[in-house]
């Protein structure tokens, strides 16, 4: 039986991590980057016998894929990605791909601002608590690379809207939405609602036993919540008010 073909578009940290995981899981892996691949990543590809190309995208090679992992920096609007989608080839993010191969719990953080700080703070808290925890997203070793080579019980993951756009089956055990302000609107047809919908993808597939932590001070978030049916347990936080439920701020003289 022929192996399924996994094509990686973009040979950055997430792309190389996905290539390592894909090979470990039995895929025929091909990595393609329209730019120049860093030498440190070329070495990894050579060492693992993974086929690759740089400074081009060979369409015939890419369009024969069974599955494509796309770098979050590549817009869905580019012609090659459109051709893949027209052919019915699934185009997913690294987080979606790696999530299929781990049973670890996940704490996922998104928002227009403060993602990295919050992610590192939670990771540090979990680490100091003695938990077997990894941190991933837009920092350090990619989620896919860690799933391939580590054995963490818990991951704290920073998620951009671009990563969320390529996630379909992935489920956050704890989803944290910090804030939503206009950002990257060129990727969303200059429609704020499209960007808001992207951020709220962090809630997809959540179950009643999961948690959704959100900023009650953010009017975009609170108004959007009113429109949606949310299955997870909702925990608001505020730095303006003391809340009856959730985390609030009480200032005393």
pLDDT tens-digit map of 64-103 = 999 999 998 888 889 999 999 999 999 999 999 999 999 9
Q: Give residue 1's pLDDT.
A: 66
**pLDDT of residue 252 exceeding 90:** no
65/92 Cα distance (integer angstroms): 12
- Which has more confidence, 241 or 51? 51
Which residue from 36, 44, 37, 38 is spatially nearest to 17, judged by alpha carbons? Answer: 44
162/143 Cα distance (integer angstroms): 15
Partners of residue 54 on adjacent β-strands = 33
Tell me which DSSP letter residue 185 carries: G
Which residue from 217, 165, 160 is spatially nearest to 183, judged by alpha carbons? Answer: 160
Reported pTM:
0.91
Angle CA 23–25–30, to nearest 5: 30
132/130 Cα distance (integer angstroms): 7
Q: Are 78 and 68 in contact (CB under 8 A)?
A: no
Report the interhelical angle of 13-24 vs 39-47 (nearest 10°): 0
Q: Give residue 183's pLDDT.
A: 66
The values of phi and psi at residue 90, to 5°, are: -65, 130
Q: Are 250 and 242 in contact (CB under 8 A)?
A: yes
CB atoms < 10 A from the CB of 141, how many? 15
CB atoms < 10 A from the CB of 103, how many? 5
Q: Give residue 92's pLDDT.
A: 96
179/184 Cα distance (integer angstroms): 14
Tracing tokens 């956050």 back to the chain, one arrives at: 172
Q: Residue 12: CB partners within 8 Å, gap ≥ 6?
A: 41, 71, 73
Q: Give residue 188's pLDDT.
A: 63
- Pull the structure tokens for residue 60: 């015939």
**Among the residues of the chain, which ranges form H helices?**
13-24, 39-47, 59-63, 79-87, 94-99, 115-128, 143-149, 161-165, 192-199, 219-227
């Amino acid at each position: 039986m022929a192996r399924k073909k996994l094509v990686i578009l973009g040979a950055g940290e997430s792309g190389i991590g996905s290539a390592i995981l894909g090979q470990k899981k039995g895929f025929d892996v091909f990595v393609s980057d329209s730019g120049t691949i860093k030498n440190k990543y070329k070495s990894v590809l050579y060492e693992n016998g993974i086929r690759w190309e740089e400074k081009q995208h060979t369409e015939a090679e890419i369009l024969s894929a069974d599955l494509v992992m796309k770098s979050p920096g590549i817009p869905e609007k580019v012609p090659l990605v459109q051709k893949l989608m027209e052919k019915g080839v699934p185009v997913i993010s690294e987080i979606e791909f790696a999530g299929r191969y781990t049973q670890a719990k996940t704490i996922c953080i998104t928002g227009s601002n403060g993602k990295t700080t919050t992610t590192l703070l939670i990771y540090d808290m979990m680490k100091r608590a003695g938990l077997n925890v990894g941190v991933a997203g837009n920092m350090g070793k990619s989620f896919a690379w860690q799933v391939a080579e580590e054995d963490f019980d818990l991951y704290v993951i920073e998620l951009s809207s671009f990563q969320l756009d390529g996630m379909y089956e992935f489920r956050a055990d704890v989803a944290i939405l910090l804030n939503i302000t206009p950002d990257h609107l060129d990727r969303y047809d200059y429609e704020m609602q499209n960007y808001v919908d992207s951020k709220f993808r962090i809630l997809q597939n959540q179950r009643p036993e999961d948690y959704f932590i959100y900023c009650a001070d953010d009017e975009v978030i609170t108004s959007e919540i009113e429109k949606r049916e949310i299955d997870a347990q909702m925990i608001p936080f505020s730095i303006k008010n003391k809340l009856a439920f959730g985390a609030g701020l009480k200032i005393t003289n």
